[in-house]
Amino acid sequence: MSGALLGGASAAQVSSLRSYARAIGLAFQVVDDILDITQPTEVLGKTAGKDLATQKTTYPSLLGLEKSREVAANLISDAKAQLSLFDARAAAPLVALADYIGSRSN
């Protein structure tokens, strides 16, 4: 947001980036919750299953694994759609970030 404001982005562009940030931040959390129950400790780089062991409320615990994957995919798609106001080359790093979040394994 700061970069957009300092760079002279229009109000519509700032709003789109705000929506992108919300969606991608939430997608990161949903994917993190999914990885906690689907990946071993060696892959995660942190203790796997800790959320389940502490009965932490997570997306998979509330919605189930498949629905959580669907929510993450929808959030990533929504985030990328928010970049339509920008030149594709300028938006490429944010698109790449969204793709990475959706495909990460740790």
- Which tens digits make up the pLDDT trace of 58-72? 999 999 999 999 999
pTM above 0.75, yes or no: yes
Domains of the chain, residue spans: 2-103
The confidence score (pLDDT) of residue 68 equals 97
Token duo for residue 83: 């970049």
User: Cα–Cα distances in Å, from 105 out to 15, 27, 45, 100?
Assistant: 30, 14, 10, 9
| Confidence band of 34 (pLDDT split at 50, 70, 90) | very high
Token duo for residue 41: 């400790």
The confidence score (pLDDT) of residue 19 equals 97
